[in-house]
Amino acid sequence: MMNIKRVISTIEKNYIAENLKKGQRIDGRGLWEYRKIDVSHDIINSAEGSAEVKLGETDIITGIKYEVGEPFPDLPDEGVCTIMAELLPLASPLFERGPPDEQSIELARVVDRGIRHADCVQTKKLCIKENEAVYILFVDMFVMNYAGNLIDAGGISALTALISSRIPEGEMKDGKLEWTGKYLNGKDLVKELPLIMTFGKIGDVIFLDPNLPEELVCEGRISISVTKDKIVSIQKSGVATFSIEEIQELIKRSMELGKEIRENLDLWQYKVD
């Protein structure tokens, strides 16, 4: 990726940090306030499920595709759900062509960890016949515009795409796969809705949903994934440290924010029958 020092000045960094100490942000938000979240679904005709999520100006499109394959030997009656992320060069001058870099790997892994540890995708429902055939779901996130905090936007986008998915139902007959004409939908496949809240830290100031300038000068970030009633994953990056008291406070805020976002977005409305 491009050297950050080339795209943000020391003057701007100091300006951001000094305002944060006063509880002020360059886009006018409070320290614990999200940018506007817009959700669209079923936007890719060729995908089995899809969604576009805009968090402020950050824009991520996610599509669901599938293959039928053999299960893992130690999970003979469970399908597979794999999450990947691609940072398109058109999304930001900071992104370059080539193999996945640390940021795309982090985005995919943090979103995947929240979904996996929450028991979100019902992998047993993805089994066509034990030991023989299962669905392999591919959840592909594409960053269309980078304006900070890809993780939270990616998490909502992946969930919405899964909820809006329709997977053709198959069954094995005489060793051959046949389609029943029915579908597995999001209600069949998705059990929990893990939402990710990301907090940045500069000095001793912690704030929610870093925008791009804030993210570029952050000393560290922490992403907390929550369901309705529990924490399912925590991921820290950067050199900043978080005390036990700070983490406890952020967990409390994450649970409160998760409840609020879950109610406001009502992601189950995007289920397709």
Q: What is the pLDDT of residue 101?
A: 82
- Which domain does 70 fall in, by range? 4-270
Token couple for 219: 């000393």
CATH code at 60? 3.30.230.70
DSSP codes joined into one string, 97-140:
SSS--HHHHHHHHHHHHHHHHTT-B-GGGGEEETTTEEEEEEEE
**Tens-level pLDDT at each residue, the chain (273 residues):** 444 444 667 888 888 989 899 999 999 999 999 999 999 999 999 999 999 999 999 999 999 999 999 999 999 999 999 999 999 998 998 888 877 788 999 999 999 999 999 999 999 999 999 999 999 999 999 999 999 999 999 999 999 999 999 999 999 998 899 999 999 999 999 999 999 999 999 999 999 999 999 999 899 999 999 999 999 999 999 999 999 999 999 999 999 999 999 999 999 999 987
Question: What is the count of structural domains for the chain?
Answer: 1
Residues 6+ positions from 134 with CB-CB distance below 8 Å: 68, 69, 70, 71, 78, 79, 80, 126, 127, 128
Q: What is the pLDDT of residue 7?
A: 60
